[in-house]
Structure 1
Amino acid sequence: MPSQRRMRLYVLLLALAIITILYMTGSSSQTRTSPFYTKTQEVLQEQEYVDASKQRDAGGVGSRLKVAADDARKAAEEKGQKFVDSITGGDSDKAPRGRYSKDGKQQPLEGVAAVGGRTQDKKPPKENETEDYHDAEAELNIILKKSPIIIFSKTYCPHSRKAKHILLETFDIDPAPYVVELDEHPIGLKLQEVLADTTGRRTVPNVMVLGQSIGGGDQMQELDETDTMAKTIKKLGDTRITHVTRRSRQSETRRVRRRA
């Protein structure tokens, strides 16, 4: 039987254990009900909810994109075409926005460069592209429909007179070239500006065949002297030009005399 001193020790240890347990329990309860503890728990729970939502969304989108890629691949196989992934260039499931082509070449996504995946920057509008400039562009399109050959000229320009003489009098062309005198046209200056941007030629005359500039007075003279005028015009004008022949010297002389 334990001694009285040992019994007192056991009772003291038991009392200390009970006091410790009660203290810890009380401290824990106070800590859990404190504003700091409550706020911390709310933040942690909110973050866990956000992370879980992102994982669900990513899984759902990935699944839907994979299904889209599979459908595109099946459609390509049914048509006997090769499925080409628009990002990886292959049959990978990692790039669901795949496209395919008959020759099996990769078709890059709109707005993405073919190399490096960098977005293609749109060209900024030019400073001169005002409303008047766009009106001149529209007028130019109307003029180009009047004849396969257009001569942009100025009444006082000797080089323009030389080009008109060659194309209108030296040669017999059907349909006849259409002449635009820029110094007499209401928006002639803007038209000349648009022509400079379009053809790279800022001076007159500017002779165009189906929208393509073939030069000015000196170039017309060179084509005439080298006997390549008819060949050049027929090649550029294709079926729109039905007849190009050089008039005889005698008939040309008669035409000049009648004009005099």
Structure 2
Amino acid sequence: MPSPRRMRFYGILVVITVVVLLYMTNAAHHTQTSDFYTKTQQALQEREHEEAAKRRDAESVQSRLKAAEEQAKKSADDKYTSVKEAVEGPARKGVAGRVAMDSQDDKKVPGVAAQGGRTRDQAAMKKDETLEDHEVEMAMNAILKQSPVIIFSKSHCPYSKKAKHILLEKYRILPEPFVVELDKEPLGDKLQALLAHMTGRRTVPNILLIGKSIGGGDDMEELDQTDTLVATFNEIGGTRITDVEHRNARPEIRRLRRA
């Protein structure tokens, strides 16, 4: 049996242990309910929320950047494809998307100038082509879409005035001819050089019918005087020319529609 002294020691030890446990429990409870502890916990939780929000924002930004990059790449590819098609055209098209002429369209017509034309290889964008050359090519493409009949002219040129008088005043042509005054165009000189390469005709006026040069002022005058202008436009223009009328001609040749 333990001695009374040892029993007292054990009793004191138990009491001290219980007191320490009670103190620690009470201190922990007091700490958890204190303002400092509460504010510290709130601050830590807010910081965790902020870091999580930043991570979500960073992921969202990366996703948007990736989507924007993919969209920009797609737009660039689409633009390159559209530019390439506009310059080269499909298999049966030449420069600026004009339909290649059949052998029947290439036959000689009295009073009509020869057509130089460009092959598909010539129309394709070359590796050494400058940005200005490309802009000229695109400008020509836009012009040729305006009407089946294009009058390349210069405002001070008497031959151009003669051609415009014949085609715009003496005749009623539908769709109406589209006039390009090269001396008033910012790219006029470059357009004239490209036109010479396309048609083999450097001088103005240069009248294009569905992309084919049919001559200048003297040629239009000859077609008018020989009463063959209406027939020529119907023959070359086909269904693209809906109506041609010689305003003051004899009734039998005033309007010759294509059958």
Q: Give the TM-score normalised by structure 1.
A: 0.46
Q: Give the TM-score normalised by structure 2.
A: 0.47
Structure with greater proportional helix content: 2
